[in-house]
Amino acid sequence: MPSLGADMERGTLVEWLVKPGSKVRSGDIIAVVETHKGAIDVEIFEDATVSEICAHEGETVPVGGLLARLEAEGGKAAPLLPATKPEPAPAAAKAAPEPTFTITRTGRTKVSPAARRLAAQIGIDPETLTGTGVDGSVSLADVELARASAAKPAPAAKAARKRGFDPVEMRRGIALAMARSKREIPHYYLSSTVDMGPTLDWLARFNEARPPTERMLAAVPLIKATALALRKHPQLNGFWQDDAFQPGAGVHIGWAISLRGGGLVSPAIHDADTLALPDLMDKLRDLVARARSGGLRSSELMDATVTITSLGERGADNVAAIIYPPQVAIVGFGRIRERPWIVDGKVAARPLVDVTLAADHRASDGHTGGLLLSTIEQLLQEPETL
Amino acid sequence: MSDPAPTRMTYREACKQAIRDALNADPNCFVMGEDVGRYGGCYAVTKGLLEEFGLERIRDTPLAESVIAGAGIGAAIGGMRPIVEIMTCNFSLLALDQIVNNAASIPHMSGGQFAVPVVIRMATGGGRQLAAQHSHSLEGWYAHIPGIKVLAPGTVEDARHMLAAALADPNPVLIFEHVMLYNEEGDLDPAVDAVDISSAKVRRDGKDVTILTYGGSLPKALEAAEELARDGIAAEVVDLRVLRPLDDATIFASVMRTRRCVIVDEGWRSGSLSAEIAARLADELFFELDAPVRRVCTREVPVPYAAHLEAEALPQVADIVTAARRLAKPQ
C-alpha cells in the first residue's frame, strides 16, 4: 500500500485492474485505492508480471502493507512495495516537551485484546472493522456486530467503485498533517510584492486570439516561475526526512486544489520546470478536473517536492501557509489586485501580487528563501522567457 | 459493659466498639498511642475508653512514633495483643524502621520462632484541609512490604469487625482508617459478627465497567456508579478491603465480567497500588480486556491546604464518572 501523503495511514483496495499473470509496464495503473482523498489510481513503477494478488477487494491495508507480488522480468518474485518508503510516523514528543508522552501512531488498527482474540476464534479480520471503542479501537462489540451481520445474507452487491472522497476523513487527514507540520516544523515566513504587469500583458496577448477553453490562467506563469526558481535554489525543493534534508529528484509542484464540499488536495505536476506554458495549462486543467471528480494517480499524490497555494481572484491578499510535511517549503500567491506602486519615481496603479514563502528552518535559512522570492520576481518581469 | 448494638452508627463508633470488644475479649489486649487516653484520640475513636478500662490498658505515649511502634512490636513478641494507634500515616514514617525492619522481618528472620501479632491503626487520606503533612495516603507503600497485612476498611461493617480478625492473625496487621470516613454512617447487619481479612468484595454489581477502589474512595466510587447508572452504564464497584495480600481472584473475576476497569486510588499514581493492580491486569487478563485500564489517583503534588486546591488534587466523583464513561461509552 503506497503512502499517498503524510496524512495517510491506510487505504481500502477498491478494485484490481490486473490479475495474476498480467504483464504490467512502468506507469500502468494496476489498482484503485480508496483514501480520504477519494479513489486513487495506483501505478506500478517497473516492468513485471503479477504473480500473486495478496490484498482482496474491499480490504483495508495499512501503508506499507502487501498488496501483490510481482515477478520481475527474468527475475524472481518481489513484493509490490510502495514506490517511496512509507512515511515514518511522526516522532512522538521529540521536540515538544509535553507532560505526558504521546503514543506514536502506527499503521496498525487498534483492536482491543479481547476483540482480537474473539475475531481470531470466529475467523474475522478485526482490522477491517470500524472501531467504536476507546480511541476508535475495534472492541468486542464491533466484532460481535460483524459476526451478527456476517450471519445475515450478504449485501446485494459490491459497492460501486467510488469516485468521491469522504469530507470527514479528508478533514481528519488534513488535521493530522497540518498539526504535525505545526508541531514539528520550525516555519519561517518571507514575503515580497511583485508587479504582475508584464506577465498579465503577456497573458492578454497570448489569450487574445484563443477561445475561452484554451485560454491560459495567470496561475500557469506563477507555477512555472516558481518551478524555475526552485531549480535554481534546490534547498527549498525536497523533503526533511530522517533528520536531514533530501533534495527532490525533479521539481514536482504540488498544486493546492480546494474541493467543493470542503477540503483540499495538492497533487503533483511532475517536472513543472521543464514544461512549456501551454502544456502546463493542460496539465493543470486535467489535474483540477480529476481532483474534483476523483481519479488522481498515486504518483501525483506521492511525488510533490514542494507546494504552491494560490488564493485566486476571490481570495485574500496574502497567505502565511503551512508546509505539507515532509516537504520543506510552500509558496503562496495572494490575489492579483491593482494597488499603488512606485514606477520610475512616480506613484502608479499596478496589478500587484504578494508572494509568500513558508519554509522549514531546519532545511534552509531566510537568506535562501529571500533569493527564491527575488528569483520568482525577476522571472515574472520577463514572462516570455518562461 | 455491653452496649445494645444499634443497627446504625458512625464509622468512628464502629471503630470504638471494635476496640472495646477486643479489650473485653482478651486481657492481654491494650491500646497505646499519642493522645489516645485523656484526649480520647485525635479522631475521638478511643474517647471514653480510658475511663472504662484504666491507665494500664489505654496508654498515652510520648510523641515518638518509633518508640510507640517498637514497644508495640516488643509487647506482641512477648505475648501481648497490642493495638497501636499512629495518629496519621504521615507520622508513621518515623516508625517505618520498626514496622519494616522489625515487625515485617522478625517472623521470617527468626525462622518462625517469633510471631509479631501487633495491630497498628492509622488515619490516612485527605479532604479535611489538614495540608500536606497530615493528608497523604501512604497505605500503598505498606502494601509493598512482604510480611505485613494491610487493611483498608471502607464500610462501617468492616470498621466494626476487621479489628478482631486482625488481632487473631499472628502477623503484624496495619489498619488504615480514612479520615473522611469517621463521620460516615452505615447500617450494621446484626447477623454479621465477623468479617474475613482476605477477600475483596463486590459492593455493587454491574456489567459495563469495574471500578476498583478501597477506603475513603469507596463512597465516591459508589456515588459515581449511581450517576453512571442514570447514564445507562452499569458500573461494578469492587472494594479491595485488603491491600496486602491483594485478592486477585475477586478482582480478576469482576474485570473478566466487565472487561473494562477504572482503578481509584487516593495515593499518587506513580509507583502506586493502582499501578500494581493495573500491571496484574495486564499480566493475567490481557486477552480479556476490551479497553485500556484507567486510573484515577491523587495529583502528584503534596496535598494542598486550600480547599479548592485540595479538592482538585484528590480523586472526586466527577473524575471517576468521566473515566468510567470514557471506557464504557467512548462514542
Burial class (CB in 10 A: 0-12, 13-18, 19+), B249: exposed
The CATH number assigned to the domain holding B241 equals 3.40.50.920
Q: Which residues of A touch B292 (CB under 8 A)?
A: 134
Nearest-Cα residue of chain A relative to residue B294: A134
- State whether A139 and B290 contact (CB < 8 Å): yes
Check whether A156 has a pLDDT greater than 90: no
CA of B331 vs chain A CAs: smallest distance (Å) = 6
The proportion of chain B whose per-residue pLDDT surpasses 70, expressed as a percent, equals: 98
- State whether B326 and A134 contact (CB < 8 Å): yes
Residue B54, domain member (yes or no): yes
Whether residues B324 and B180 share a domain: the answer is no
Whether a cis peptide bond, with omega within 30° of 0, leads into B245 is yes
Residues 6+ apart with CB under 8 A from A3: A63, A64, A82, A84, A85, A86, A87, A302
- Give the nearest partner residue to B330 out of A116, A134, A140, using CB atoms: A134
Residue B194, domain member (yes or no): no
SS3 assignment, position B224: helix
Nearest-Cα residue of chain A relative to residue B293: A134
Q: Which residues of A touch B326 (CB under 8 A)?
A: 134
- State whether B290 and A135 contact (CB < 8 Å): no
Whether residues B214 and B307 share a domain: the answer is yes
The proportion of chain A whose per-residue pLDDT surpasses 90, expressed as a percent, equals: 41
Residue B117, domain member (yes or no): yes
Whether residues B174 and B249 share a domain: the answer is no
Residue B258, domain member (yes or no): yes
Instruction: Please report the sign of the dihedral spanned by the C-alpha atoms of residue A298, residue A301, residue A302, residue A303.
Output: positive
- Give the nearest partner residue to A134 out of B286, B287, B291, using CB atoms: B291
Locate CATH 4.10.320.10 in chain A. Answer: 89-152
Domain end, chosen from B187, B210, B237, is at B187
Structural contact between residues A312 and A323, judged by C-beta atoms closer than 8 angstroms:
no
Half-sphere exposure of B46 (CA within 13 A, CB side): 33
Q: Report how many Cβ contacts below 8 Å link chain A to chain B.
A: 34
Structural contact between residues B234 and B331, judged by C-beta atoms closer than 8 angstroms:
no
CA of B231 vs chain A CAs: smallest distance (Å) = 17
Chain B positions with Cβ closer than 8 Å to A: 259, 286-292, 326-327, 330-331
Nearest-Cα residue of chain B relative to residue A118: B287
Query: What pLDDT score was predicted for residue A164?
Result: 57
Of the candidates B330, B324, B250, B331, the one whose C-alpha atom is nearest the C-alpha of residue B293 is B324
Q: Which residues of A touch B291 (CB under 8 A)?
A: 112, 133-134, 137, 139
Of the candidates B137, B132, B121, B51, the one whose C-alpha atom is nearest the C-alpha of residue B87 is B121
Query: What pLDDT score was predicted for residue A313?
Result: 79
Residue positions of B annotated with a catalytic role: 65, 134
Q: Please, which pLDDT band fits residue A199 given cuts at 50, 70 and 90?
A: very high
ipTM of model = 0.72
Query: What pLDDT score was predicted for residue A95?
Result: 40
- Give the nearest partner residue to A139 out of B287, B288, B291, using CB atoms: B291
- Give the nearest partner residue to A114 out of B287, B326, B327, using CB atoms: B287
Whether residues B66 and B115 share a domain: the answer is yes
Domain end, chosen from B139, B162, B187, is at B187
Which domain does B220 fall in, by range? 201-328
Q: Which residues of B touch A117 (CB under 8 A)?
A: 287
Whether residues B168 and B207 share a domain: the answer is no
Q: Which of residues 129-158 of A touch B (CB under 8 A)?
A: 132-135, 137, 139-141
- State whether B287 and A135 contact (CB < 8 Å): no
- State whether A117 and B287 contact (CB < 8 Å): yes
User: What are A13-68's pLDDT values in tens digits?
Assistant: 888 888 888 888 888 888 888 887 777 888 888 888 888 888 888 888 888 888 88
User: What are A93-151's pLDDT values in tens digits?
Assistant: 344 333 445 455 556 788 999 999 999 888 888 888 888 888 888 999 999 888 888 76
B86/B224 Cα distance (integer angstroms): 31
Whether residues B41 and B105 share a domain: the answer is yes
Query: What pLDDT score was predicted for residue A346?
Result: 93
CA of A123 vs chain B CAs: smallest distance (Å) = 17
Residue B195, domain member (yes or no): no
Question: Which top CATH class is A89-152?
Answer: few secondary structures
Structural contact between residues A307 and A257, judged by C-beta atoms closer than 8 angstroms:
no
Nearest-Cα residue of chain B relative to residue A112: B290
| Topology annotation, domain A185-385 | Chloramphenicol Acetyltransferase (3.30.559)
CA of A150 vs chain B CAs: smallest distance (Å) = 21
Residue B36, domain member (yes or no): yes
Check whether B4 has a pLDDT greater than 60: no
A333/A304 Cα distance (integer angstroms): 18
Residue B250, domain member (yes or no): yes
Q: Which residues of A touch B331 (CB under 8 A)?
A: 132
Locate CATH 3.30.559.10 in chain A. Answer: 185-385
Q: Please, which pLDDT band fits residue A8 given cuts at 50, 70 and 90?
A: confident
Whether residues B135 and B14 share a domain: the answer is yes
Q: Please, which pLDDT band fits residue A289 given cuts at 50, 70 and 90?
A: confident
Q: Which residues of A touch B259 (CB under 8 A)?
A: 112, 114, 140
User: What are A55-99's pLDDT values in tens digits?
Assistant: 888 888 888 888 888 887 665 555 554 444 444 444 433 443 334
Structural contact between residues B262 and B295, judged by C-beta atoms closer than 8 angstroms:
yes
Whether residues B13 and B158 share a domain: the answer is yes
Neighbours of B273 (CB within 10 A): 27
Locate CATH 2.40.50.100 in chain A. Answer: 10-79
A359/A375 Cα distance (integer angstroms): 16
- State whether B327 and A114 contact (CB < 8 Å): no
CA of A170 vs chain B CAs: smallest distance (Å) = 20
Nearest-Cα residue of chain A relative to residue B288: A114
User: What are B63-81's pLDDT values in tens digits?
Assistant: 999 999 999 999 999 999 9
Q: Which residues of B touch A133 (CB under 8 A)?
A: 290-291, 330
Q: Which residues of B touch A132 (CB under 8 A)?
A: 330-331
Mean of the per-residue pLDDT values for chain B? Answer: 96
Domain end, chosen from B156, B187, B218, is at B187
User: What are B210-267's pLDDT values in tens digits?
Assistant: 999 999 999 999 999 999 999 999 999 999 999 999 999 999 999 999 999 999 999 9
Of the candidates A105, A38, A46, the one whose C-alpha atom is nearest the C-alpha of residue A71 is A46
CA of A32 vs chain B CAs: smallest distance (Å) = 31
Measure CA B30 to chain center: 21
Question: A101 touching B, CB under 8 A?
Answer: no
Give the residue, B22 or A242, on which the prediction is more confident.
B22
User: What are B108-126's pLDDT values in tens digits?
Assistant: 999 999 999 999 999 999 9
- State whether A139 and B331 contact (CB < 8 Å): no
Q: Which of residues 255-294 of A touch B (CB under 8 A)?
A: none
- Give the nearest partner residue to B291 out of A116, A117, A133, using CB atoms: A133
Residue B192, domain member (yes or no): no
Query: What is the rounded radius of gyration, in angstroms, for the C-alpha atoms of chain B?
Result: 20
- A65-68, Cβ contacts within 8 angstroms, sequence gap of 24 or more: A65/A1, A65/A10, A65/A107, A67/A1, A67/A13, A67/A31, A67/A42, A68/A18, A68/A30, A68/A31
SS3 assignment, position A32: strand
- State whether A132 and B290 contact (CB < 8 Å): no
- State whether B291 and A117 contact (CB < 8 Å): no
Please give the tally of structural domains in chain B. 2
B194/B163 Cα distance (integer angstroms): 10
Whether a cis peptide bond, with omega within 30° of 0, leads into A267 is no
Q: Which residues of B touch A103 (CB under 8 A)?
A: none
C-alpha cell at A65: 502493507
- State whether A133 and B259 contact (CB < 8 Å): no
The CATH number corresponding to A10-79 among 2.40.50.100, 2.40.30.10, 3.30.70.100, 3.50.30.40 equals: 2.40.50.100
Whether residues B264 and B142 share a domain: the answer is no
- Give the nearest partner residue to B330 out of A113, A133, A140, using CB atoms: A133
